[in-house]
Amino acid sequence: MSEEEEEKEEIGEEEKKASLLADDLASLENYIHDLFSFSPLPICFVSPIGVMLEINPAFEKISGLKSYELIGEPVEILFEKNKIKKVSEETLEKGEVEGVEMELFPGKENNVPIQVFTRVRRDEKEDIVGYFLGLFNMSKIRETQNELKKSQVALMNILEDTEDSWRAAEEEKKRTEEIIASLSDGLLLFDKENRLSLMNPQAEKLFGIEESEFIGKSVLDFFQYSELRPLAATLGRKMERLFRKELKLEEDFILEVSTIPLMLKGKNMGYLVVLHDVSREKIVERMKTEFVSISAHQLRTPLSAIKWTLKMLLDGDLGEITKDQREFIDKTYVSNERMITLINDLLNVTRIEEGRYLYKPVLQDLCKLIRGMISSYEPEIKKRKIVLSYSEPETKVPNLKLDAEKISLAFQNFLDNAIKYTPEGGKVTVKIVCDKKEVVVSIGDSGIGIAQDQQERIFTKFFRGVNALKRETEGSGLGLFIAKNIIEAHDGKVWFQSKTGKGTTFSFSIPLIQNI
């Protein structure tokens, strides 16, 4: 092969390589164009003087403008002039810019928060022919940031509220502890398992113990300690509900014990035990009772002497008296009888308070006793023109263990009030019923009744209703107190129903099985 032919062949090879290289370059340009077009990131190509030369579909989407509306326009129409100018200058100087935060369409309602990324493009001579400008949409990130800020603010508010609540709770707890510590009554707090969780200083003082030694111990554990054994017996193994039950620790050392269940949403969370020292009150009460007892005994003797002297005068044993004299002596005799009745009532009250009121409890026929007492009131009933009805069970009521004198006095007080406070022509009803457990006696009337606001005090000493005082000025206010205590001394119960102007029904029950 000649040199000329070899040269031609070499030229042909070079042309083939150049053609292949041109094809590869064209393919690469198509690939880059496709990549540019299908990139999910908004990208535009900007000339060195800041004119947009090419944009991809993602850029159209974020801007809301078509390519023909943007190509040939300065990039400044989309961004704040000073900021994009600075980005352009820095890109041309350094070759790239990363993550500059700006706004697309600043100052407008449709502005979009973005981050700007740039990179220069050079030709084969390394001259800058422009730069790529990519955008990253920060809208969702900003929304997330705003939500996070809101959540942070809300959380901080919650934490502040929680802290305030905690401080308030701590202050309230401290205040409550100070109140509990300064109370004159002893307090014991038990949890739902009846274990001691709190004891205030007054309770420590009452029993001569320290709280730390007994915290966590149950009521059953208290039986092991001599100081707390009486309290444990009073509270019971299952923590009984108590109200002002007396606990005698020594001769002149008496506490009143009350238990209060602590409920939360209907569930028992434990018990609060209140210990009130009534030693001084009991001493004063005993002294008062002793004084009344001595005074009553001292008064009864001369009053009895006066009674028999007046009786002798009225019977003529000491000579004839005139009509006027008899009238005055009669009034004196009646007044003296009232005084003797009052003295007897006072003595009965002192015996009740001393716990020595029932002397002779023996088996008795209650119905027979009541019938006898009703018969003794027949003259008074006829005088007042009152209709009295009496009923008892057809089958015989079992004999009960009774102090006949005292049970008669109790019934007499109920019947006497019924007759006394029933107007002329009214009705009084006495009814006895019996079941397998108890005998119930009811004394009803159609009298003046008891005012609602005074019913709670009806069994207290020396109390008389306002309407009763207007109708009957005489009376000690001791009858119902004595009657109630007599019934309760027989293991019975007393209750009543009343309505002003309609009448009252007093009832009492005595169990068939008694512990007296």
Q: Which of 270, 267, 272 is nearest to 257 (CA)?
A: 272
Residue 158 within a domain? no
pLDDT of residue 16: 67
Here the CATH number for the domain that contains residue 195 is 3.30.450.20
**Residues facing 45 on adjacent strands:** 54, 132
Quick check: 229 and 236 in contact, CB under 8 A?
no
- Parallel, antiparallel, or unpaired: how do β-strands 400-403 and 361-364 relate? antiparallel
Domain match, 474 and 335 both: no
pLDDT of residue 469: 67
Q: What is the pLDDT of residues 165-193, one digit of tens each?
A: 888 888 887 887 777 777 788 888 898 88
Number of other residues whose CB lies within 10 A of the CB of residue 487 = 22
Q: What is the pLDDT of residues 329-367, one digit of tens each?
A: 888 888 888 787 777 777 777 776 666 655 578 888 999
Domain match, 376 and 505 both: yes
Domain match, 502 and 365 both: yes
pLDDT of residue 19: 63
Query: Any idea what DSSP says for residue 396?
Result: P
The whole-angstrom separation of Cα 448 and Cα 336 is 28
- Non-local (6+) Cβ contacts of 225 within 8 A are 209, 214
Residue 295 within a domain? no
Tokens encoding 103: 């706004």
Q: Is the pLDDT of residue 113 over 70?
A: yes
Domain match, 485 and 366 both: yes
**Residues facing 149 on adjacent strands:** none
The whole-angstrom separation of Cα 373 and Cα 441 is 14
Q: Is 95 left (phi over 0), alpha (psi -120 to 50) or beta?
A: left
Domain match, 397 and 495 both: yes
Query: Which range is most confident: 157-171, 283-297, 470-484?
Result: 157-171
Query: Any idea what DSSP says for residue 462?
Result: T
pLDDT of residue 88: 92
- Non-local (6+) Cβ contacts of 254 within 8 A are 246, 247, 248, 277, 278, 279, 282
The whole-angstrom separation of Cα 204 and Cα 215 is 12
Domain match, 245 and 335 both: no
Q: Is the pLDDT of residue 61 over 80?
A: yes
pLDDT of residue 507: 94
- pLDDT confidence tier of residue 514, bands split at 50, 70 and 90: low
pTM for this entry = 0.47
Query: Which range is most confident: 94-103, 304-313, 453-462?
Result: 94-103
The whole-angstrom separation of Cα 30 and Cα 15 is 22
Boundaries of domain holding 317: 300-354
Number of other residues whose CB lies within 10 A of the CB of residue 500 = 14
Rounded to the nearest angstrom, the gap between the alpha carbon of residue 383 and the centroid of all alpha carbons in its chain is 57
Percent of the chain with pLDDT over 90: 19
Domain match, 314 and 341 both: yes
**Residues facing 128 on adjacent strands:** 122
Domain boundary at 82, 113, 137, which?
Answer: 137
Residue 119 within a domain? yes
Q: How far is CA 484 from CA 33, 410, 459, 466, 495, in A?
A: 111, 7, 7, 21, 9
What's the mean pLDDT when you consider all of the chain?
83
Domain match, 414 and 492 both: yes
Domain boundary at 290, 321, 354, which?
Answer: 354
Tokens encoding 13: 């090879």
Measured CA angle at 68 (ends 67, 71), to 5 deg = 75
Q: What is the pLDDT of residues 15-45, one digit of tens each?
A: 666 566 555 555 545 555 656 777 888 999 9
Q: Is the pLDDT of residue 429 over 90?
A: yes
Domain match, 91 and 217 both: no
pLDDT of residue 175: 83
Domain match, 105 and 229 both: no
Domain match, 482 and 403 both: yes
Q: What is the pLDDT of residues 476-510, one digit of tens each?
A: 778 888 889 889 888 899 999 999 888 999 999 99
Q: How many domains does the chain have?
A: 4
- pLDDT confidence tier of residue 471, bands split at 50, 70 and 90: low
Domain match, 503 and 373 both: yes
